[in-house]
Every structure is written in C-alpha cells, then in structure tokens.
Structure 1
Amino acid sequence: MRGSLGEKIGEGAYSDVHAWAPGRVVKLFRPGFPQRHSWWEARMTGAAFAAGAPAPAVFGEVDLGGRFGVVLQRLDGPTLLQLSRSGALTPEATGAILAGLARSVHAIAPPADVLPLIETTRGALRDAGGALAPHVATGVLGLIERLLPGDGLCHGDLHPGNVIMTPDGPRIVDWQGATRGPPALDLACTEVLLAELAPAMVADPERPRAVNAAFQADYARRAGLPLATLVAAIAPYRPIVLARALLGPAGSPALRERLARRVEAALRPGT
C-alpha cells in the first residue's frame, strides 16, 4: 500500500493514527494487540462504508515493523467529544447529532459480513478468557437467545469520541463492534458508555449523562415513539451490554464490581 508514515494526528486505547498519503491515514495498532481484531475492524469498517453507513473508506492494510495498520480515508475535523467538552456544543445538540447518526445506521440493512449478537458475544467471551464467571457468561448467552434480537445494523460503540465532525457532515469511526441486532442494542451501548462509564472518568459527570438523555429523547422523537417505550425497549439489552463492558479494561475496580453486581441481579430468575 503506497504511502509513508507521517505525523501522528490521533490516538486511541490500542492504536495511533498517522498521516499516510493525501486524503488517507493509517490506523496503526500497538504491539501486542491481536491482529485478528485489527483485521476484523478493517473488515467491518469496509462493509459499513460499502453499505452506505457514515464510515470512512478502507483502502488496504499494511505491516510496519510488525505493527498491523489499516489505511483509511482521512476525516478532518474535531471529534464530537471535543466540541462537547469545550462547550461549543450543548449536551442537547450533542445528543441530537448522535441520534441522527444512530438513525442513519439503523436504517441500513446489515452487510453479510456483520455477525449476529449471539456470535459476537461468544467471540468476546472467548477472547476475554474467563473474565466473567461461567454462570454469568451462560446467563448472558441465554438472555440473548430468549430475546431473539432483531436483524439490523448496530455500530456497537457509538459515543461522541467516535464521531468526527467533518466539513461534509459527521462520520463514525471504530466499527470493530459492528453487530446484527435491534436499535435498542445500540442505544443500550451508548447509554452504558455515557451514563455508566464516562461519568467515572470526567470532571463533570452530569455532562455525559445529559448527552445520553438528549440522545434518547431525540432518537425517540425521530422514531415517532414515546420516550418511555424506547427506554423499555432498551432495558432487556442493558445487562448484556454491561457484561460485555466488563470484558474490557474500562472502569475502576469499584465501578466494575458495581456493574458486575447489576448484571448478576438482572440475570436472576424472576427479575
């Protein structure tokens, strides 16, 4: 893939983003990050873009000194998170932008490459190597099987930090978690990120909670649903998303223990 490693223009938990060629960047994953996850992100991003989702185009893959990289369309502009934190956008405006993006994703038929929720959850449990107690993992998989999730396209990690505000409109990055499921699954993912995890990591915990409230209200309005109906649809997916969050490193030990207790309580018979 013709190009050269240029200036670093961004970074995430597991990768750095560098200039690569005119109109292109390379997302370079850090040493030790499993290449299969990097490859899967490239595949999901390409599938989402081809299906018409607001995702960057994928131009290929590279290996730079043993580090796997994905060459992507360059998306210039601040993230939605940066605009929200700076006060340039209110929580209401931030939530409305997220809601519009979510609705556009959920209107797209899922590409054939995107796996259903039960399969992505099984894979996450395997990769986590026993991070959840066996009875909790079994309970989560059983809940998914009982819910018979719908067959739509979900991003799986939609939050302001994954939205770039380009001159051509907002675009979503980090499609590794793309999953076949109902809109309520994606809404639950955003809720857990904004109302559960983010408040423990920012100076103003009420801001991400306010963004989530505005996001759900605007999504309900766009979908022509009462907000209470939308919140009720999200509820069954909350313990699934909380359990999946516990498979990663996010959150303090105290927060993780609290979330684990909530998952166990939600999975008890009769609850």
Structure 2
Amino acid sequence: MVHRLGNKIGEGGCAEVFEWEDGSKIIKLAKPNTVLAALQAELHHSRIAWACGLPVPQPYDLVNVGGRSGVVFERIYGDPIIKRFVEKAVEQSRLQQPINMMDDYVNAETTAQLFHHIHSHSVSNMPSQRENIRNDIHRAQYLTEAEKTAVTAELDRLPIKQQLCHGDPNPGNILLRDDDAVIIDWNNASTGNPEADLAEYVIMIRYAILPPHLPNEARVALDATRETSIRLFMQEYERLSGISYADIDPWIGPVAARKLVADGISEEEKVLLINEIRRRLDIG
C-alpha cells in the first residue's frame, strides 16, 4: 500500500501533523530536533494510556515517510481548549462584553476531571517521573549549581507515589469533542506523583506567555482570569481526590526548574520561572 500524506492540520515544537490514509488517522512527523527514541516513547506511553481505557487517540504504528519518522494515531475531531479560549476572548471583545473573572475560560474543571481520571491508574514499564525531573533540573542552564542542588534537595524531600502522570497538561493538548475531553501528546508521561502534573498546570496557567501571533484579546482575557482558573481547577480536583493546593505547592519549585529545559518556552517566561524558583529558595 502506498501511503500518501493529506493536508497539514497542525504543528508543534517537535512535529508536524498531517492527515493520513483515508483521513480517519493522522501522522505526527518528527522535526529534525526530535530523535527516533522520543517517538518510540510516545507510542509506548500512548499504548499504555489506551490500554487503561483513558480518553486518548488510538495509537497505531511508527512509520517512515520520505526519510522522516512519524507516529500514526486515530484522528480526533475536536478543538483544543486553547483554540476555544482564544475564540471566546475575541468574540467577547467584538461584542464589547466585559471579561467575567469568575468564568471558567480555560475549561479548568473539565481539565481537573480528566487528570483525576489519568491519575487513578497505576502502571508499570514507564519512566520514573522523579528521575526525569531530577535530570531536567541538572540540565537547566539558567540556575547556579548551588540552586540546582537546593531544588533537587526539595524534590528529594517530597513523598513518592507510583501513579500514571501525563507530564504536559497544556490546554493545547486537550481536545474538546462534544461533551468529552481527549488528551494527546503522551511523550512526557511517567509514573510518579499526581502533584507534579498539578504543579505543572498551575505554573502554566500562572506564568504562560501566549505566542505573539495570537490576538491581544486572548492575552487580556488570560491575564484577567489566571488565578480564577487555578482556583476552579484545584477546587474540582480536591473535590475528586482530596489533594489540595497545599499538597502541590512544594512541587512548584522543582517543576518550575525542570520546565527551564522545555521546548517552546519564551525567555520572558523563563525569567518568571527563575524568579519563582529563587523566591522559594529564599523562603526556604
């Protein structure tokens, strides 16, 4: 069978996404900055999530197209949360409607429900979240060796759990399909503490700098609703799990440090993360 790429339908920092075969599937083709091992890991993690019955695209195979490696998945027809957020912000501005700072602009409650579902599973044959975080902290170029040692010591004092974690709770990775939420991009998945996923979400909402190509209305809406979104997210997650903001707060420093090596984070956002890390080290 001759495989033919369809239309390009998306792009991230590490891959381009195209329609595949009859359009019921997609293929994520790696960019030059992505090694084969990363695609193999994403396929492996996705198969584990699929086997758990989680709302993820069905994973198929690793293939090669024109010298580029790619992973084939079921195609999900839905809008990323970030797309819905931008559209709502722009429409409200067009209609001259004020921003309701109590509104759930980024579907925080839906995201909390989704992550509680993920965290309810314990799996084997997955990377260690703690080792991933520790390795990333030591690779961070923006911290001194003393700061890396101090943040790693904070990490080592935290309790150890063995639950399935996604590793990248980005509103761009959650697709809304009718009344369902589907989560993609499992390359950073691991076994560890749900609190690390939750800290990642809090940091992302609190400090994310939207790409410059997005309309200014989205930046205004995000800035006005950041803390409301975090509160709604934590209220729902605590209702489901009993885990509170106080439980995840100690994880914010180590997770912020590991994010300094992530692709696609602006220098402005890195400065915010460094300031947060150093503030916490001073308190400690």
- The TM-score, its normalising length taken from structure 2, stands at 0.82
The Cα shift of 1:165 comes to 1.6
State yes or no: 1:11 paired with 2:27.
no
1:40-59 alignment runs, 5 A limit: 40-59=41-60
The answer to whether the 8 Å contact 1:52/1:108 transfers is no
Quick one: which amino acid aligns to residue 140 of structure 1? V
Aligned equivalents of 2:136, 2:227: Cα separation in 1: 27
The Cα shift of 1:216 comes to 1.4
Indicate how the Cα distance of structure 1 residues 129 and 67 shifts in structure 2: closer, same or farther if over 3 A, else same.
farther
- SS of the residue corresponding to residue 104 of structure 1 reads helix
State yes or no: 1:141 paired with 2:155.
no
The Cα shift of 1:40 comes to 1.7
Structure 2 residue runs without a partner (length 5+): 93-102, 213-217
The answer to whether the 8 Å contact 1:17/1:26 transfers is yes
The answer to whether the 8 Å contact 2:133/2:255 transfers is no
State yes or no: 1:266 paired with 2:275.
no
Match of 2:117 among 100, 104, 107: 104
Quick one: which amino acid aligns to residue 19 of structure 1? E
The answer to whether the 8 Å contact 1:62/1:69 transfers is yes
The Cα shift of 1:64 comes to 1.9
Indicate how the Cα distance of structure 1 residues 131 and 104 shifts in structure 2: closer, same or farther if over 3 A, else same.
same
Structure 1 residue runs without a partner (length 5+): none
- Counterpart in the other structure of 1:118: 130
Quick one: which amino acid aligns to residue 178 of structure 1? A
Aligned equivalents of 1:130, 1:146: Cα separation in 2: 23
Aligned equivalents of 2:32, 2:106: Cα separation in 1: 38
Quick one: which amino acid aligns to residue 253 of structure 1? E
- Counterpart in the other structure of 1:35: 36
- Counterpart in the other structure of 2:96: none
The answer to whether the 8 Å contact 1:35/1:68 transfers is yes
- Counterpart in the other structure of 1:185: 196
Aligned equivalents of 1:161, 1:133: Cα separation in 2: 32
State yes or no: 1:244 paired with 2:261.
no
- Counterpart in the other structure of 1:78: 79
- SS of the residue corresponding to residue 44 of structure 1 reads helix
State yes or no: 1:234 paired with 2:248.
yes
Aligned equivalents of 2:2, 2:119: Cα separation in 1: 35
| CA-atom RMSD in angstroms | 2.7
Deviations 1:58-84 (A, max 9, x none): 111112233221101111111122222
Quick one: which amino acid aligns to residue 113 of structure 1? N
Deviations 1:200-258 (A, max 9, x none): 865222244432322112222233x4xxx611001110001100111124444344234
Aligned equivalents of 1:161, 1:64: Cα separation in 2: 26
Quick one: which amino acid aligns to residue 12 of structure 2? G
- Counterpart in the other structure of 2:177: 166
State yes or no: 1:211 paired with 2:229.
yes
* Percent identity for Structure 1 against Structure 2: 26
The answer to whether the 8 Å contact 1:117/1:149 transfers is no
Quick one: which amino acid aligns to residue 212 of structure 1? I
Aligned equivalents of 2:197, 2:150: Cα separation in 1: 20
Aligned residues between the structures: 264
Quick one: which amino acid aligns to residue 203 of structure 1? R
- SS of the residue corresponding to residue 7 of structure 1 reads strand
The answer to whether the 8 Å contact 2:15/2:30 transfers is yes
